Amino acid sequence: MTMARTKKPARRTQLGIVLEESAKEILAHIRGEKSFPTRRFVIPGNVDVKSIRVESGMSQAEFARTFCINPRTLQEWEQGRRTPDPTTRAYLSVIAKNPKAVMDALAS
d(CA 47, CA 93): 7
Residue 8 has pLDDT above 90, yes or no: no
User: What is the rounded average pLDDT for all residues in the chain?
Assistant: 91
Best-predicted range by mean pLDDT among 6-15, 36-45, 60-69? 60-69
Residue 24 has pLDDT above 90, yes or no: yes
Model confidence at 4, in pLDDT bands (50, 70, 90)? low
Q: Which fold has domain 49-107?
A: 434 Repressor (Amino-terminal Domain) (1.10.260)
* Range 14-42 average pLDDT: 90
- Which DSSP letter does residue 100 get? H
Give the amino acid at 53: R
Contact 64, 92 (CB under 8 A): no
* Range 68-97 average pLDDT: 96
**pTM recorded for the entire structure:** 0.62
Q: How wide is the angle at C-alpha 6 spanned by C-alphas 5 and 7, nearest 5°?
A: 115
| Domain definitions of the chain by residue range | 49-107
